[in-house]
Structure 1
Amino acid sequence: MEDLTSYLDRSQVGSAVGPEPSDESLLGQFANGDAMAARLLTDRLGPRSFSVALRMLGNRSEAEDVTQEAMMRLWLMAPEWVPGQAKVSTWLYRVTMNLCIDQRRRKRPETVENAPEVQDISASVVDQIQDEARSDALQNALEQLPERQQQAVILRHIEELSNPEIAGIMDISVEAVESLTARGKRSLATILAKRRDELGYENG
């Protein structure tokens, strides 16, 4: 099976002049035997699935495995896809989150392995260390949230999805999404406030 990192780093294949095909259209083309459609859809949706998995699991290797499994399930489901039933991205986010939940229940991660950030060569070593500490602190704080709050916060404030999109993914009302994200943000603020001085946040 193709290594996830190879397609995450691969440049997206250029499309012909005109509007880009929808996720649903590409999935239908793949179901009809178009391998290029699968590659385009993978380039488009794979990184989104990986981003959510990485934040939920805090472990790059496990996130890669989850993303590969989620994409594999998408390909297997393609022939049975009912147009207009749901957005392909919504379906994939839901599957990714469920796989992450299953993974965490099977094995609690012993360490947090955040995705390596691209280093700014102009930044001082101290600044780089502090940036890494802040990223680690955010990941640790996210992992302390209740499961549903964590999911809502990741989708809203990291993936930047709309509340209606998140409601569809989590199968709850928009009001419930708003409540979960608000409570999650308050909890994160409380957790991170204990480390403000350590992380170099001097002002309120």
Structure 2
Amino acid sequence: MARDMQNEPDDAALLALYGSGDPQAARLLAARLLPRVLGFATRMLGGDRAEAEDVAQEAMLRLWRAAPGWRSGEAQVSTWLYRVTANLVTDRLRSRQRRRLNAGGGELSLDEAVDPPDDSPGAEARLIAAERLAALDQGLAGLPERQRQALVLRHIEGLSNPEIAMVMGLGVEAVESLTARARRGLATLLQDRRESLGFEGD
């Protein structure tokens, strides 16, 4: 059944429709939420796209399982989903830490793969943008997990402080403090590269 895109249901209404057996509602909700959750998980996991896809799929599966008993008004669907994703990411990061300790190794480093430059127009601009993004991801990876989570939710995912408070199980003032510390920490981590990467005005 075709839907009027101007009056498309909100997330909670779509989840309720899915819980009542409407598969189209699930497709619409997944198209709306999955890219956001995948991006969040990818940044929280230091750019590990494969692991982030696993986390995002598991988070969506939990949402589908929660659909039949979902009660509108208790929480926003997106906030609930971010919280589930954050918990799954935390589990993955702890598992990584345990594996590292059990292996007796030092810090794991991510391989930095850079595509060879080409001579097509805009190639230099694309390389600069890719280098800036890689530096940002590297800086984010250097932050403590809770600071990274707050910063990504606020400045990349665009959540409000009250929404982040719900996701992280904190008060709004604690979120504001955590985000401020994360911004200062990120600025320090990127300090030596700010001018070369063009961050000086950011």
Q: What TM-score does the superposition give when structure 2 sets the normalisation length? A: 0.83
- How many residue pairs match? The answer is 186
Do the aligned partners of residues 63 and 141 (structure 1) sit closer, same or farther apart at CA in structure 2, a change above 3 Å counting? same
1:104-139 CA-partner distances (Å, limit 9, x unpaired): 22226642689x9xxxx641x333222211111110
Among 78, 84, 106, which residue is 2:95 paired with?
A: 106
SS of the residue 1:130 aligns to: helix
Percentage of pairs with the same residue: 52
- The residue aligned with 2:16 is 28
1:23 Cα deviation (Å)? 0.7
Structure 2 unaligned spans of 5+: 98-107
Provide the C-alpha distance between the structure 2 equivalents of 1:95 and 1:202, rounded to a whole number of angstroms.
Answer: 35
Aligned with 2:183 (options 174, 182, 185): 185
Match of 1:92 among 81, 89, 92: 81
- Residue 140 (1) aligns with residue 138 (2): yes
TM-score normalised by structure 1 residue count: 0.82
Given the superposition, is the C-alpha separation of residues 126 and 69 from structure 1 closer, same or farther in structure 2, using an over 3 Å criterion?
same
Which amino acid letter does the alignment assign opposite residue 33 of structure 2? L
1:56-95 aligned at under 5 Å gives the runs 56-57=44-45, 58-95=47-84
Structure 1 outlier segments of 4+, above 3 Å: 200-204
Q: Deviations over 1:52-101 (max 9, x none)?
A: 00110111111111111100010011112122111111100001111111
**Paired position in structure 2 for 1:39:** 27
Q: Which of 128, 131, 135 is the matching residue for 1:130?
A: 128
Q: Is the 8 A contact 1:112 1:136 kept in 2?
A: no
| Structure 2 counterpart of 1:173, one-letter code | G
3-state SS of paired residue (2:7) = coil
CA shift in 2, pair 1:79/1:133, >3 Å:
same
